Structure 1
């Protein structure tokens, strides 16, 4: 028996939590983990992703996330949630709907790949 579904979801949740806390030390990245965001490579290794989450200015504008809805299919854990930024105009906050698929094999429970689709919106 491999890693449970609950533990694989917890691995994805650790990543989502790190978007807000900027503390990715507990995120279980595989060494070769990559991330593709809207078709562009934005993560080149587990260590690169960890450093980016911990110190990257692109993540500093994130204020919160909503609770993800998870679905599992094979090695994939899909999370759909909203990212709320600190950026606001006229009392409305810039946000994004995130549809993120994590490849987290049952045999090791590590995040091997992340594919993110984003749809920005203004939160009223």
Structure 2
């Protein structure tokens, strides 16, 4: 495991301002769209925990070869791994980091999730594909 910090903005509007995004129409073609979407989704996980009166137990995981998990959530005695993608078209590659993590951790497929902007949710043998609503 490699320890490396990752920066998130609680205010995505501030993040957009710092990136000189002045209009919502700029976001779909912006080169950091994926990072902004990931930031937004993680903020929602933080808010959900805080609204339940719980401290968020959210982490980021990356190994030395570059496999990564965008969000690792501890809930009770289970860990859930999320790959967060701004794309609307699902790709099997989305499960790459999740599969490595599942093998190392012994996680079941229901603990591996892909969040994306597409319009189709489904369960696969590798994990769950979830639309962002």
Structure showing greater relative contact order (alpha-carbon pairs closer than 8 Å, 6 or more residues apart) = 1
User: Which one has the largest radius of gyration?
Assistant: 2
Shorter-chain TM-score above 0.5: no
In terms of fraction of residues, the more helix-rich structure is 2
TM-score by length of 2: 0.32
TM-score by length of 1: 0.33
